[in-house]
Chain A
Amino acid sequence: MSERMIRKAGAFEILNHWALALSFFVLALSGAGFLYHLEGVAALFGGPQGMRGIHNWAGVVFAVSLAGTVFNYLGVSLSFSYDDIDWLMKGGGYLSRKKINVPPQDKINTGQKLYYLGVLFAGGLISASGLAIWLLPGNRELVLASHFVHTLCYAALLFFIPIHIYLATLANPGTVRIMISGTVPLDWARKRHAKWVKKMGYE
Chain B
Amino acid sequence: MSSRFAFLSEAGMDRSSLIKGLQLVQKKEGFISDEAISAVAGHFAMSEAEVEGVVSFYAQFKRNKPGKYQLSVCDGTACHIKGSSLIQEWISMELGIRPGETDTDALFSLETVACLGCCSLAPVMSINGKVFGKLDRKGTIKILKDYRKNG
Physical interaction between A and B? no
